[in-house]
Amino acid sequence: MLQYVIRRLLYSVVVLVAASFLVFFFVTASGDPLAALYTTPNVSRESIDKIAERKHINENVFVRYGYWAKEAVTAKFGTTLLTNQKILPDLWRVMKNTFQLVFIAELLAVLVAVAIGVYSALRQYSVFDYSATTFSFFGLATPVFWLALMLQVAVVQIYLSTGHRIFPVASLNSVDPGSGLDFWIDRAHHLVLPVLVLMVASIASYSRYMRASMLEVVNSDYVRTARAKGLPERQVTMKHAFRNALIPIVTIVALNFGTLLGGVIVTETVFSLDGMGLYLVNNLLANDPYPVMAFLMVTAVMIIVFNLIADIAYGVLDPRVRYE
Amino acid sequence: MLPFGEEPASVGSPDLTLAYESGVELEARSQWAYARLRFFRHRLAVASLVVLILIGGVAIFAPQLAPYGFDEQDLLNLNAPPTFDDKHLFGTDQLGRDYLSRVIFGVRTSLWVALFVAILSTAIGTAVGSIAGYFGGQVDNLLMRFTDLILTLPGLAVLLTASVFFGSGDPLKVGLILALLFWTGLARIVRGLFLSLREKEFVEAAKAAGASDMRIIVRHMLPNCVGPIVVTMTLLIALAILTEAALSFLGFGIQPPNAALGTLIDSGQEQGLETWWLVTFPGLVIVLIALSINFIGDGLRDALDPTQRRRA
């Protein structure tokens, strides 16, 4: 298996290099990132030329890619275009915030979804089962940003009619959050709505997978055997069926986790949370290719790593899987 | 009683009715007839189809059906909340434009883009998948590695980046960008189907008869993949609607004066959330469309692809 992991990692490096060039090519081929500066008042021609020289804007794509790759490897993604600020410290800060948000939301979502899925499968075609299915269909058809906005609308309407703000609708903390425990209580209060939004989509899809997986296991031969030899029903479902039904869920959650880390763009924008998504959007609006490249590389690495984790976990949990 | 072992005396060609001498008449059903039957048995899917046809009809005939013009202003009613006295059913926006009319035109744009994306990405995905699966070897390797590469990148982030650096705003460009990312899933599915079809006898027979590669792919193999392709394409429409709405909402997709549903929500929320109707109604329409398409997709899967029926 070690050999398999090493080969996968080597292959991933090749994919990353190819992907970075592809993205870099498109990002730079689209025009001069400094174009807007020429028409900005109070910016001298010399200072623009200095930036152009520092970032090698006037070279061809291949040379620029070479400079970028060198900077990315040796200087931790280098600096931003205009202000020449280091990229990594900012990126690190927003990554921590995003990770916090995603981790809490996914943890809660998995717990709820597993419970819903198992109960639906054990009581197939019951009222509960149909309600859960309906919820899933609605959850998957609802745009995340709209759900977030509707929660905000609800909070605002409650405020307008009662004068009571039940949850903050923006940012990670209040202006003066306090310290120690107060800080974290303030943070938790701010995270309630974003976490709720992220949970809905995750629960909608995970609970479907959990239900299908549990149904398959419950109808399998070894569960029938366990019943036939007279084990108590509780032991059959919780020990024999439930544990095996969890295996596919582990894979799906791991795959989704990697995508989510780079992909909570919408939620972070609506709630203006200082995370990776908002970081990307702000830098795109500023037309700065360098932080954008750094963001894309970091997220691609995370997707690759979580893909690998998913595959390995699958093999560890299910001995029938063999790595080639 | 089925007349086993008896040849039909006549074959009523147009309606495909088989008449036997023993007096039994059998109606021959094509595969499509069976698929249709199975689809119409799925009540939710049929209801969704009706809903979607209604919405599509409203979108097509938007100029005739919308109560007001797209940018017609009612300056006495700025930011008016919805009323039931058939004046402004969905209220008006900050410029006094009737919101129901704007939503109707928004549906028109959003549906148009989604259909365009679904058709284009289905075409690309089918072409890439069938070429990779049919020829195999190095061609397959190259195409699939390229597909992997696109799947490694974070989807929405790449879409945002692409729209900034390619420029966006008009529906056609947004559709193109979406389609260039959405074909990968279908390419993998079609490739998988082709890999197994390639070994079937009828393909071997066609080869022996001297059919060209192109003819074998298009006439012999693709018709056997229609089910999964149609199902995937349906689900792609829903995905395209949702993604386009998110892009437009973030300000990276379709921009004013063009109005898609996501654009409407974006300009609605900029008014502050007191004017709740500006955010609520376009979103409800998106949910309704996406929900119907997903149900139709479910029905089509049951109808066209009985072997892959979801365990429910």
The SS3 assignment for A26 reads helix
pLDDT at A43 over 90: no
Pick the residue with more confidence: B72 or B115?
B115
Give the range among A53-62, A213-222, B93-102 with minimum mean pLDDT: A53-62
Question: Cα B9 to the chain's mean position, in Å?
Answer: 44
Structure tokens at B128: 């890439």
**Is residue B27 very low, low, confident or very high in pLDDT (cuts 50, 70, 90)?**
confident
Cα dihedral across residues A305, A311, A317, A319: positive or negative:
negative
* Average pLDDT over chain B, rounded to an integer: 84
**pLDDT at B12 > cutoff 70:** no
Measured between alpha carbons, how far is residue B22 from residues A195, B1, B11, B26 in Å?
Answer: 70, 10, 14, 11
Q: How confident is the model at residue B288 (pLDDT cuts 50, 70, 90)?
A: very high
pLDDT at A127 over 80: yes
Which pLDDT band holds residue A96 (cuts at 50, 70, 90)? very high
In whole angstroms, give the CA distance from residue B251 to residue B244.
11
Q: What is the mean pLDDT of chain A?
A: 86
> Is the pLDDT confidence value at A130 over 50?
yes
Is B75 or B39 the better-scoring residue by pLDDT?
B39
Question: Is B149 touching A (CB cutoff 8 A)?
Answer: yes
For the segment A23-44, the average pLDDT, to the nearest whole number, is 72
Which of chain B's residues have a Cβ under 8 Å away from the Cβ of A263?
A: 154-157
The band of B89, judged by pLDDT with boundaries at 50, 70 and 90, is confident
SS3 state at B27: strand
Distance from CA of A181 to the nearest CA of B (A): 32
Q: Helix B99-135 crosses helix B184-197 at what angle (to 10 degrees)?
A: 40
Contact B104, B62 (CB under 8 A): yes
CA–CA distance, A195 with A33 (Å, rounded to integer) = 36
Count other Cβ atoms within 10 Å, centred on residue A33. 21
pLDDT grade for B221, boundaries at 50, 70 and 90: very high
- Nearby residues of A103 by Cβ (< 8 Å), 6 or more positions away: none
User: Is the minimum CB–CB distance between B246 and chain A shorter than 8 Å?
Assistant: yes
Chain A contact set for B287 (CB, 8 A):
138, 141-143, 146
Q: Cα B299 from chain centroid?
A: 14
% pLDDT > 90, chain A: 34
Could you read off the pLDDT of A65-79 as tens digits, one per residue? Answer: 888 888 777 777 777
Spatial separation of the C-alpha atoms in residues A139 and A152, rounded to whole Å = 18
DSSP annotation of B80 reads: P
pLDDT band at B309 (very low <50, low <70, confident <90, very high): very low
Residues 6+ apart with CB under 8 A from B60: B108
Selection from B65, B51, B145, B74 nearest residue B104 by Cα? B65
Task: List, as one string, the DSSP characters of B123-146.
Answer: HHHHHHHHHHHHH-HHHHHHHHHH
Q: Identify the pLDDT of residue B35.
A: 83
User: Which of A2-6, A55-59, A161-165 has the weakest average pLDDT?
Assistant: A55-59
User: Per mean pLDDT, which range of A46-55, A261-270, B242-251 is the poorest?
Assistant: A46-55
Query: What is the pLDDT, as a whole number, of residue B14?
Result: 52
Q: Which residues contact A266 (CB under 8 A, 6 or more apart)?
A: A144, A145, A148, A277, B156, B246, B249, B250
> Could you count the other beta carbons within 10 Å of the beta carbon of residue B38?
17
Name the residue of chain B whose CA is nearest to A18's CA: B149
Chain B residue whose CA is closest to A262: B154
The lowest-confidence range among A37-46, A277-286, B94-103 is A37-46
User: By CA distance, what is A216's nearest residue in B?
Assistant: B311
Find out whether B55 and B98 touch, Cβ atoms under 8 Å: no
* φ and ψ at residue A154, rounded to 5 degrees: -60, -45
Closest Cα partner for B182 from B238, B255, B111? B238
Are A209 and A202 a contacting pair, CB within 8 Å?
Answer: no
**What does the pLDDT look like over A212-258, one tens digit per residue?**
999 999 888 999 999 999 999 888 888 889 988 998 898 889 888 87
Residue holding tokens 């990307």?
A: A280
* Contact between A19 and B310 using a beta-carbon 8 Å cutoff: no
For B182-210, the pLDDT digits (tens) are: 999 999 999 999 998 998 999 999 999 99
pLDDT band with cut points at 50, 70 and 90 for residue B99: confident
| Residues in Cβ contact with B6 at an 8 Å cutoff, skipping those fewer than 6 apart | B20, B21, B22
CA–CA dist A79, A71 (Å, integer): 9
Q: What does the alpha-carbon distance between residue B245 and residue B269 come to, in Å, rounded to a whole number?
A: 14
Q: Please spell the DSSP secondary structure of B198-247, one letter per residue.
A: TTSHHHHHHHHTT--HHHIIIIIIGGGGHHHHHHHHHHHHHHHHHHHHHH
DSSP state of B307: G
Work out the pLDDT band at B16, boundaries 50, 70, 90: low
Type of residue numbered A289: P
Task: Check residue A121 and give its pLDDT.
Answer: 93
Residue B34 in this model has a pLDDT that exceeds 90: no
Please give the pLDDT value at position B310: 44
Which among A16, A149, A284 has the least Cβ separation from residue B164? A284
Q: Which of A31, A137, A215 sits opposite B294 (nearest CB)?
A: A137
How many percent of chain A have pLDDT more than 70? 94
What is the mean pLDDT of the segment spanning A96-105? 93
Which chain B residue shows the shortest CA-CA distance from A304? B152
Is the pLDDT score of A282 beyond 50?
yes
Q: Give the model's pLDDT for residue A97.
A: 92
Give B-chain residues touching A209 at CB under 8 angstroms.
none
CB A118 within 8 A of CB B234: no
Q: Are B255 and B167 in contact (CB under 8 A)?
A: no
**Residue B4 confidence (pLDDT) above 60:** no
pLDDT at residue B124, as a whole number? 96
Q: Per DSSP, what are the bridge partners of residue B12?
A: B17
Residues 6+ apart with CB under 8 A from B281: B90, B99, B100, B103
Q: Per-residue b/e over A149-185, b at no fewer than 16 CB within 10 Å?
A: bbbbbbbbeeeeeeeeeebbbeebbeeeeeeeeeeee
Structure-block tokens of residue A314:
């699958």
Q: For residues B127 and B153, which has the higher predicted lDDT (pLDDT)?
A: B127
pLDDT score recorded for residue A135: 94
Residue range B151-168: average pLDDT?
A: 81
Which chain B residues touch A303 with a CB distance below 8 Å? 152-154
Q: What residues form DSSP beta bridges with B19?
A: B10, B25
Average pLDDT over residues A133-143: 92
- The candidate with the shortest Cα–Cα distance to A306, out of A99, A25, A76, A165, is A99
pLDDT digits (tens, 9 = 90+) for A140-165: 999 999 999 999 999 988 988 888 88
pLDDT tens digits, A179-218: 888 888 888 889 999 999 999 989 999 999 999 999 999 8
Determine the Cα–Cα distance for residues B119 and A74; give it in Å rounded to an integer: 44
Max avg pLDDT among A253-257, A266-270, A309-313? A266-270
Interface pTM, i.e. ipTM: 0.85
Distance of alpha carbon B125 from alpha carbon B182, whole angstroms? 8
Interchain contact, A146 vs B153, CB within 8 Å: no
Q: Report the half-sphere exposure of A39 (CA within 13 A, side-chain side).
A: 4
CB of B66 within 8 Å of a chain A CB? The answer is no
pLDDT tens, B169-182? 788 888 998 998 89
For B156, nearest residue in chain A (alpha carbons): A263
Secondary structure percentages of chain B, helix, strand, coil, to 5: 70, 5, 30
Cβ distance of A215 and B311 shorter than 8 Å:
yes
> What is d(CA A193, CA A199) in angstroms, rounded to the nearest whole number?
10
Q: Is it the case that residue B312 has pLDDT exceeding 60? A: no
